[in-house]
Structure 1
Amino acid sequence: MDRFEVLSVFFGHKTAASVVAAHSHPYWQLEIVTHGGLRCAFAGDGFALEAGDMLLVPPECEHGFVYDKPGVSWITIRFERAEDGESRWGGVIRGRPFTDRLVSSFKIAIPGSADKPYEKAFVGGFLDALLHYIRSDEFRQPADSPGALLGQITDMVLARGGRAVTVSELAEELSYTRSHLSKKFRAIAGESLKAYIDRLRVQKAEELLKYREDSISEIAADLGFGDLFSFSRFVKKHTGASPRELKGK
């Protein structure tokens, strides 16, 4: 885990156009756009940032901002980070389902500045999760790559917490037809999308059966099964064991 010292957290908002001239400083900065859009200069290049996008700025790296659209809001986190021997990556982090959830949790836990020790600890955990994401294969893949699509689908299924989601529902959310998404997924993953959804659901079912103290009936209800028989049949089909056997392990 990276070690962080959170220096400041600032929630900003602009109602009129303004410019922050190019500058640098000896600490890290993370800029998170939460509403509207802005333009930034970073390491000699220019980028447009929209809501959900972030800019990670390493120490002494020149950067600036142009707020030319009214109503833009953002969060600025300034921090120091213990050197870990890895490269000092900085740049644009485009919004994706994981980062959207991460920022949503941040805004709930830290509605303003982070002054208390436990608030700073939360911000440090947020930064650590974000840096782990930056190091992941998912982050390195372009948004329109096959791997990114697989990541999107995985996120959407996992977000249901083990409850059912149909191929048609996923296709609608991703702006595909059902048949096109099914064919595209099979080409990427080598299995049907329905089988993949079921596999993720049964993994969640196994987790709940092994580590939750609720009854099997309560777990079945939480996962959206109408009755215990259909839940038992689903689990047995995919694991070879009954819910009772899994709960007893």
Structure 2
Amino acid sequence: MNYLFEEADLLNIPVECFSFNSENEVFPVSPHWHYYMEIILMTSGTAEMRNGSNAYTMSRGDMIIFHPKAIHSIYSADGKPVSYSVIKLDISRMNISSDYSPKLRSIFRCAERKKSAVFFSAEKAEAMNADEIFGRCISEMNSGRYGYDMIIRSQIYILLIGILRCWQEEGFRIDSEVFAEDTRYDIYNITEFIDRNMPSDVKVSEIAEKCGMSYSYFAKKFRSVYGKNCKEYIDDMRVCKAEEFLVYTDFDLTYISQETGFSDCSHMIKSFKKHYGVTPKKFREMKQAKQIPKNS
């Protein structure tokens, strides 16, 4: 069987939240994989969701996790329509942690290796307030109002911690192996390091070293995974952060260029225009007039 890689814009869209109805979309969902973690909550019908060699019959209220790179597929269990809510996220970008806790990406990687449960019954999902969390995330994603991304992230953190606590009740332990994972970077989580160092003049050679790769091999691997070279990624991320400043603040361009790590204001203007087709000033004016550029 030809398992298909599903293209995803992890760089610009680290989180997606949406509702799926089999009557309105391509269905069934054939075997595929992607770099996102995907969490699904059934809202109606009965589905068979396959995760690798395991199959789960899902009814209203049941929840399942598909870890990054896991081959999965979705079918109707009885030939009738199904609907479900979806949260897809780059868990490497969910990097808030406490002093005593490792990063969530480290915890979930170890949980996957230890084969912790990926299926959660409606009763367990209800205890996590999953229905409310999914609904809030989808509503905020659709609204795009000020701070929507922060609300979505806060809700996802609550859900992920709920999943972790459920695993702990079943015997999962946050041990030295999990903490050791915190210090490891590879091509799939290096964006966490890049994002954290975005305001500074981070070098590709430094990033490659963090991954334990030669510059040339890192460059090849990065393009293979993310569809662009690392310098382009850094520039695009700075543009995305500049967009947020333009939409949600009244800071001037010089200040925004400094806060987003551009070498100077002219560099930001050039990069921004290449990405959106308009200057930052024009972009802000169009946003205020609700005339959204094509690439935004």
Q: TM-score, normalised by structure 2?
A: 0.37
Say which structure is richer in strand: 1
User: Which protein has the larger Cα radius of gyration, Structure 1 or Structure 2?
Assistant: 1
User: Larger relative CO (CA 8 A, sep 6+): 1 or 2?
Assistant: 1
